[in-house]
């Protein structure tokens, strides 16, 4: 059967749409909103960012830009492996953290049944799925209570091949597998890592693990569209070629030199204007449970890529916007009061879905109670859409800037688009802010301190530094 993403018309019908009306002064007033003149003034900056990304695509840390186009053989191998796992494994567990976990979680939530693990095996058609992205001992114990390791495939994902959290999980799991299965333990581990750096690749070679490679030039938080995300997705029965087709579609859109026809570039400009205006909080508010963890993925890429102390010229700039996850409509009853009436320090991004994958009717009832009965005859689909519009309206009349990214529906193609769209927007924003989008020096200090505390060789000086830090005062610890 012909793949739907090969049809130009279908792809066009699935294009994301950016509605930035409520960022404009016509709608939120001159003090908070922006004008076409503001946008036009930044056109040279946008053109420079576009040119730089076009000139350097595929080079340095821009390897992620090629992922929609250069993985034909990898996709075939992933699909082959996934088919086997779907036939044989009862569980598939990702061991990883940060960029090696947030993408798989987001895609699982978006494209699988919302109670996937609770479905019967017949309906699920594949293994149960878990992503262990912490080193909370209770969580590891809880996982071991619900899976049988010998009926499970573990996908250890780490770009650096040396992240303590992931390697700790690996040590625990592989030890259990070896105790239970001896020489066959290796068949239950798949390593996804760099081909030339870190310890996991050495272990994979020594032990004989099946291995997928994270290409050079693809950093953790830009890695969802390589084997990091593609293998878990394929194991879940998701059409990964369609996901990549969605990303490729957005790649074309994001190359458009006309800022008024390039949503990722336009949004980067608007966020830049907002940041320079003191709006240092970026709220990501999907109106779909399927996109709930997409907001977590966004929080990482936006925070870790743009939150930087110094710029590319070494000047102290302390850039970045604090990303916040909010779920519509749930957080209307939690955070929206603050967004509507609190300070002018936020940009709210709504993710809206035109067509949900199902329709639920609200039945007749409560005829004697008009305040409840008005709901009858409508659908939950109408209700959630009306609530999104109502929240948008409530913010806008209070001059709170907000914009909406519309997905025609949630499917593998639109999720591929959405991932790539935000990768592009982040890359553009990093260029505008003149920061290194792809490093995370602020994370390294904490990592090194952990190594020192646990006695890792080579971190003796760090240990001394920690030991000589002022001791905490008991006076300030109460309770």
Spatial distance between the Cα atoms of 162 and 164, rounded to a whole number of angstroms: 6
Spatial distance between the Cα atoms of 190 and 81, rounded to a whole number of angstroms: 10
Q: Are 255 and 50 in contact (CB under 8 A)?
A: yes
**159 near ligand PA5 (CB under 6 A):** yes
Select from 18, 53, 97, 201 the one that contacts ligand PA5 (CB under 6 A). Answer: 97
**211 near ligand PA5 (CB under 6 A):** no
Residue 416 has, within 13 A of its CA and on its CB side, a CA count of: 30
Nearer to ligand PA5 (CB atom), residue 168 or residue 379: 168
Q: 282-311: which residues touch ligand PA5 (CB under 6 A)?
A: 304
Select from 33, 63, 68, 98 the one that contacts ligand PA5 (CB under 6 A). Answer: 98
Nearer to ligand PA5 (CB atom), residue 262 or residue 282: 282
Least distance (Å) between residue 448 CB and ligand PA5: 13
For residues 14-49, b (16+ Cβ closer than 10 Å) or e, as one string?
bbbebebebbbbebbeeebbbeeebbeebeebbeeb
Nearest to 147 by CA among 136, 133, 132: 132
**250 near ligand PA5 (CB under 6 A):** no
Interface mask toward ligand PA5 for 439-468; x: CB under 6 A: -x----------------------------
**166 near ligand PA5 (CB under 6 A):** yes
Give yes or no: 113 in active site: no
**160 near ligand PA5 (CB under 6 A):** yes
Length of the chain: 479
**437 near ligand PA5 (CB under 6 A):** no
Nearest to 435 by CA among 341, 319, 340, 287: 319
Q: Reduced to 3 states, what is the DSSP secondary structure of residue 256?
A: coil
Annotated catalytic residue within 304, 319, 417, 423: 304
Q: Are 244 and 68 in contact (CB under 8 A)?
A: yes
Nearer to ligand PA5 (CB atom), residue 165 or residue 392: 165
Spatial distance between the Cα atoms of 361 and 375, rounded to a whole number of angstroms: 10
Alpha helices by DSSP H, listed for 153-262, are 164-181, 200-207, 227-235, 240-253
The residue assigned the tokens 């020096």 is 441
Give yes or no: 333 in active site: yes
129-137, 178-186, 215-223, 282-290 -> range binding ligand PA5 (CB under 6 A): 215-223
Least distance (Å) between residue 321 CB and ligand PA5: 17
51-59, 92-100, 347-355, 356-364 -> range binding ligand PA5 (CB under 6 A): 92-100
**99 near ligand PA5 (CB under 6 A):** yes
Q: Torsion-angle region of residue 208: left (phi > 0), alpha (psi -120 to 50) or beta?
A: left
Nearer to ligand PA5 (CB atom), residue 160 or residue 321: 160
**33 near ligand PA5 (CB under 6 A):** no
**163 near ligand PA5 (CB under 6 A):** yes
**158 near ligand PA5 (CB under 6 A):** yes
Two structure tokens written together for 29: 């007033």
Least distance (Å) between residue 422 CB and ligand PA5: 14
Select from 100, 152, 169, 211 the one that contacts ligand PA5 (CB under 6 A). Answer: 100
Spatial distance between the Cα atoms of 160 and 447, rounded to a whole number of angstroms: 13
Active site residues: 304, 333, 447
Please give the residue ranges that form the binding site for ligand PA5 (CB under 6 A). Answer: 97-100, 158-160, 163, 166, 219-221, 304, 440
């Amino acid at each position: 059967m012909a793949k739907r993403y090969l049809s130009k018309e279908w792809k066009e019908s699935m294009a994301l749409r950016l509605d930035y009306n409520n960022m404009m002064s016509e709608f939120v007033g001159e003090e908070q909103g922006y004008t076409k003149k503001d946008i036009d003034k930044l056109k040279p900056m946008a053109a420079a960012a576009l040119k730089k990304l076009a000139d350097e695509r595929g080079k340095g840390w821009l390897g992620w830009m090629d992922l929609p186009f250069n993985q034909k053989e990898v996709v075939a191998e992933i699909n082959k492996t996934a088919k086997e796992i779907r036939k044989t494994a009862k569980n598939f567990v990702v061991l990883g953290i940060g960029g090696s976990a947030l993408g798989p979680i987001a895609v699982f939530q978006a494209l699988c049944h919302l109670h996937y693990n609770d479905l019967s095996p017949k309906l699920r058609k594949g293994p149960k799925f878990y992503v262990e992205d912490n080193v909370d001992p209770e969580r590891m114990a809880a996982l071991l209570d619900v899976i049988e390791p010998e009926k499970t495939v573990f996908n250890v994902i780490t770009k650096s091949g040396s992240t303590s959290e992931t390697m700790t999980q690996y040590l625990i799991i592989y030890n259990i597998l070896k105790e239970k299965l001896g020489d066959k333990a290796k068949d239950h581990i798949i390593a996804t890592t760099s081909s030339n750096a870190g310890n996991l690749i050495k272990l994979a070679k020594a032990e004989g693990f099946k291995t997928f490679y994270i290409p050079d030039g693809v950093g953790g938080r830009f890695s969802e569209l390589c084997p990091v995300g593609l293998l878990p997705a394929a194991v879940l029965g998701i059409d990964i070629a369609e996901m990549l087709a969605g990303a490729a579609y957005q790649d074309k859109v994001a190359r458009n030199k006309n800022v008024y026809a390039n949503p990722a570039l336009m949004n980067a400009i608007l966020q830049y204007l907002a940041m320079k205006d003191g709006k240092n909080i970026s709220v990501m508010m999907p109106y779909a449970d399927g996109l709930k963890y997409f907001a977590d993925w966004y929080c990482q890429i936006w925070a870790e890529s743009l939150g930087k102390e110094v710029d590319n010229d070494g000047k102290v700039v302390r850039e970045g916007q604090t990303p916040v996850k909010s779920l519509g409509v749930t957080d209307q009853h939690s955070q929206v009061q603050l967004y509507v009436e609190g300070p002018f320090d936020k940009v709210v991004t709504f993710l809206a879905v035109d067509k949900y994958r199902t329709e639920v009717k609200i039945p007749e009832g409560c005829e004697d109670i008009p305040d409840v009965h008005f709901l009858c005859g409508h659908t939950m689909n109408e209700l959630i859409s009306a609530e999104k519009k109502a929240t948008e309206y409530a913010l806008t009349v209070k001059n709170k800037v907000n914009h909406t990214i519309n997905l025609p529906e949630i499917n593998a193609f639109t999720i591929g688009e959405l991932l790539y769209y935000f990768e592009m927007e982040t890359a553009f924003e990093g260029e505008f802010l003149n920061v290194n989008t792809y490093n995370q020096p602020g994370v390294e200090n904490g990592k090194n301190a952990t190594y020192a505390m646990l006695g890792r060789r080579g971190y003796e000086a760090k240990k001394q530094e920690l030991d000589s830090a002022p001791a905490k005062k008991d006076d300030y610890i109460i309770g």
